[in-house]
Every structure is written in structure tokens, then in C-alpha cells.
Amino acid sequence: MNKLITGACIALTSLSLNLNAQEVISKKGYTLTFSSNDPAFSSETKAKLISTFFEVYPKLAKTYNTKTLKKVEFIVDTAYKGVAATHNGKVVYSPVWLKQHPGDIDVVTHEVMHIVQDYGRSVGPGWLTEGIADYVRWKFGVDNAAANWKLPELKPEHSYKNSYRITARFLAWIESQVKEGTVQRLDAALRDHSYTAALWKEQTGSDLDELWAKYVKNPQI
């Protein structure tokens, strides 16, 4: 899934944004502005995108970053050829993807976690950023089953550096089998730029490779 976070080489401003009238919705202390330039975009999908935002974003803010943005923008853009991309509080979605995968509503959960993360020029690895976002999708997603989205079983060729769901499963294992709260600690360190590889051992008593070796021996979550 294509992502745009701070420092990415493709700016959302380069997209064609001849948008229809914007809709502004405010709930629970947060405001979502929704725009689309696709006249055929499903009203049902639109409603699900909006409702998912207001269900998950306040929870993510409370759990990970209470200082996250209060105003977020969703843009459905026919010029965008990826799946979804996030930058500076704006999430662009592909109407083609959502038409082909109407059950993939928790793409919202992953993308808005990037807003909550707000790592700027991150001092941490990209695989961890995306792994945390997919871990959050797994934990807070409203209907991952509708997209047949789940964490993959461990395979011999896997590595914690594989990112996304593979890393997310490793993080879920750490939370359940090693130390609860590790993801929150990693996320906070990435945001305040105090992250180093030594944090894993400080938090869990084992370094990354040691943790992975233990995970491979007993990967049950």
C-alpha cells in the first residue's frame, strides 16, 4: 500500500484536486473535511470512511498522541493511482481501489495512524513506522474481516524488517508474550526522536535479533 508521510518524495499537492464541494463534519472534538472529484463515488463507502474516522481516530489519539491534529482532511481523487497516502493531515484515497475493495474500510485506521504518529524526519526505520500502523489497524480496526485482512502466520523467510503486517504480527507477539505497552513506548520515542536500537533491550530485556529468535521459536499470539 502506497503511503505518503513527512519526507516522502511525492507531495499531495501534485495531485489533481478539482474537487466537488467539501463536507465538514465535527464530532468528539475532531473535525473531518471530506472531498471527492469522483461523481460516481459510492455514498455508502463515503459514509463508512467518515464513520470509521470518528470511531478510531479519537481512540488512537487517546492511546498514542493526545496532541495529534484536531482537523483532518480526506480526499478521494481520481488522479491518484495508489491505494491511500497520508501527508500533513491529509489522506488521499483511490476511488478505483475502494470500488474494487469496498470492504477495505480499515485502510482509514492505518492511514490516520500515520497522522497520529507525526514522526517528522524520523530517526527510526521505515519498517517500524509501517509495522506500528498495521499493528494499530489489527488492534483498533472496525472490520478487518470484511477485507479479509489479517496478520500472516510466521514463515521461514520472514524478517522483522519486512514491514507492514509481518512486522505488525511481531509487535503483537511482543505485546502479548514479552511486555505490554512496548508499541506505545516505541511510538513515543519515534515521535520525540529519542529512538535508538537500544530501546528494544531497555524495554524488553532483549535486543531486536534476540526477540526475533524467541518469536520464531514460539510465535503464538
CA 213, CA 30: separation in Å to the nearest integer? Answer: 42
Cα angle vertex 130, ends 125, 134, to 5°? Answer: 145
Q: At 113, list the grid cell.
A: 495512524
Instruction: With a cut of 60, say whether residue 54 has pLDDT above it.
Output: yes
Summarize pLDDT for 63-108 with one digit per residue, the tens.
999 999 999 999 999 999 999 999 999 999 999 999 999 999 999 9
The domains of the chain, with CATH numbers, are 12-117 (1.10.390.10), 126-217 (no CATH)
Q: What is the largest CA-CA distance in the chain?
A: 54
Q: Quick one: which of 30, 42, 107 has its CA closest to 71?
A: 30
CA 26, CA 64: separation in Å to the nearest integer? Answer: 21
Instruction: With a cut of 60, say whether residue 21 has pLDDT above it.
Output: yes
Q: How far is CA 149 from the centre of its chain?
A: 14
Task: Look up the pTM and report it.
Answer: 0.91
Residue 20's pLDDT is what?
62
